[in-house]
Amino acid sequence: MTNDQKLYYGKNITVTFQPEKCIHSGVCVKGFPAVFNLNKRPWVNPDAAAAEAIGRHIDQCPSGALQYELLEEEK
By the criterion CB under 6 A, which residues form the site for ligand SF4?
Answer: 22-28, 61-63, 65-66
- Cβ at position 67, least distance to ligand SF4 in Å: 10
User: Quick one: 32 or 73, whose CB is closer to ligand SF4?
Assistant: 32
Torsion over CA: 7, 30, 47, 58 (sign): negative
Number of Cα atoms under 13 Å in the Cβ half of residue 46: 22
Distance in Å from the first CA to the final CA of the chain: 37
User: Quick one: 42 or 62, whose CB is closer to ligand SF4?
Assistant: 62
User: Quick one: 21 or 47, whose CB is closer to ligand SF4?
Assistant: 21
